[in-house]
Structure 1
Amino acid sequence: MSLVKRIRDISVATLNDKIENSEDPVRFIDKYLQTQKTKLSQLEKLYQQTLTHAHSVKQQYMEAETTRIKRENQAEIALKAGEDQLAKLILLEKMQSEEKSEQYRKLYEDGKQTILELEEQIQILKDEVQELVDKRAFYTAKIESIRLQKQLNQVNHFIEKQDYYEQSRTIDRKFSELELQTNALREVRSLDSNTGSSLGSKLQTEVENQFEALKKKLEQRR
């Protein structure tokens, strides 16, 4: 595992903790996501510049190498022709081209290594951005689920209160009806009692009248 990958894993673990402890995970992710996208854009721009530079260095290297080979062949021809001094001059140019070729070759190799490192960093950053996008979608869905559950709880609480009030009204209505029935029955019984008492009094008076009338009748016969 590369150093960049290890550092990235540590950063992701720390980031996850920050997201979990954030009051607004989605907003936190959006802010961090924007930072990472900016960094990714900068890396991709640097990558293109590095590719262009590596291509230029490679051309310099290939030209120097071509010149080296050409001067080596020319020196051989001059030597065969007995032109020793010319051959030495050409060999000097060949050595210069050889040194130049080696310098550019090293620059090109370094450039290729830089390109590989940039490619790795870009891929890692792209993966991180995608993970952040996925996390944002998850937390957005999670927050929506919490919001809907909260609404459901509020509705259930309202229904329970309505049921309680409805039951209370029903109980109160039944007690009122029972009270009315009790009072009505009491009034009826009171009426029956008063009526009976009144009828008894009248009957007794009639009996007394009949009794007095009978007494007078008997007295008259004597």
Structure 2
Amino acid sequence: MSLVKRIRDISVATLNDKIENAEDPVRFIDKYLQTQKRKLTELEKLYQQTLTHAHSVKQQFMEAESNRIKRENQAEVAVKAGEEQLAKLILLEKMQSEEKSEQYRLLYEDGKQTILELEEQIQNLKDEVQELVDKRAFYEAKIESIRLQKQLNQVNRFIEKQNYYDQSRSIDQKFSELEMQTNALREVRSNDTKTGSSFGGKLQSEVDAQFQQLKKKLEKER
């Protein structure tokens, strides 16, 4: 595992903890995404600059290598022609081109390594950005689920409250009906009592009157 990968894994674990503990995970992710996208843009820009520089160094290396080969061939021709002094001068130039070629070769190798590291960092950052985008979608869906559940709970509480009020009204209505029936029965009984009393008084008077008439009749017969 590369050092970049290990560092990324540690960073991701730390980031996940921060997201879990954030008061507003979606807002936290949005803010972090902005930072990572800016970093990605800078890395991609640096990557392009590094590619351009590596291409330039490679051209210098190839040119120096071409000169080395050319001078080597010229030195062979000079030696075959018996031009020892000229051959030595050409070999000196060949050595200079060889040194220059080696310098640019090493520089180009370093540049290729830098390119590989940048490619790895860019890919890791792209993966992280995508993970954050996916995580943001998850937390957004989670928050929406919580909101809907709260709304459902409120509706249920409202329904329970309404049922309680309906039951209370039903009980109150039954009590009112019973009270009305009781009052009506009491009133009927009161009227019956009054009627009975009035009827009893008339009957007693008639009985007394007939009793007096009967007494008078008996006295006449004597």
The verdict on a shared fold, with TM-score over 0.5 as the criterion, is: yes
Alignment of 1:1-222 (within 5 A): 1-222=1-222
Q: Provide the rounded CA distance (Å) in 2 between the counterparts of 1:217 and 1:176.
A: 61
SS at match of 1:11: helix
Return the offset for 1:119.
Answer: 0.4
Q: Provide the rounded CA distance (Å) in 1 between the counterparts of 2:216 and 2:174.
A: 63
What do residues 50-93 of structure 1 show as CA deviations (whole Å, max 9, x unaligned)?
A: 00000000000000000000000000000000000000000000
Q: Provide the rounded CA distance (Å) in 1 between the counterparts of 2:126 and 2:99.
A: 40
What do residues 138-166 of structure 1 show as CA deviations (whole Å, max 9, x unaligned)?
A: 11111111111111111111111111111
Return the offset for 1:179.
Answer: 0.7
SS at match of 1:23: coil
Moved more, 158-167 or 100-109: 158-167
**Structure 2 unaligned blocks of 5 or more:** none
Q: AA paired with 1:130?
A: Q
Q: AA paired with 1:186?
A: R
Q: AA paired with 2:184?
A: A
Q: Provide the rounded CA distance (Å) in 1 between the counterparts of 2:123 and 2:18.
A: 23
CA RMSD between the two structures: 0.8
Moved more, 182-191 or 76-85: 182-191
Q: Provide the rounded CA distance (Å) in 1 between the counterparts of 2:111 and 2:129.
A: 26
SS at match of 1:107: helix
Moved more, 116-125 or 185-194: 185-194
Return the offset for 1:206.
Answer: 0.8
Q: Provide the rounded CA distance (Å) in 2 between the counterparts of 1:210 and 1:17.
A: 113
Return the offset for 1:188.
Answer: 1.1
Return the offset for 1:117.
Answer: 0.4
Q: AA paired with 2:132?
A: L
Return the offset for 1:96.
Answer: 0.1
Return the offset for 1:193.
Answer: 2.2
Return the offset for 1:221.
Answer: 2.5
TM-score (norm 1): 0.98
Q: After the TM superposition, list the runs of 4 or more consecutive aligned residues in structure 1 that deviate by more than 4 angstroms.
A: none
Q: AA paired with 1:35?
A: T
**Structure 1 unaligned blocks of 5 or more:** none
Identical residues among aligned pairs (%): 86
Return the offset for 1:194.
Answer: 2.1
Moved more, 178-187 or 25-34: 178-187
Return the offset for 1:207.
Answer: 0.7
Q: Provide the rounded CA distance (Å) in 1 between the counterparts of 2:157 and 2:168.
A: 16
Q: AA paired with 1:187?
A: E
TM-score (norm 2): 0.98
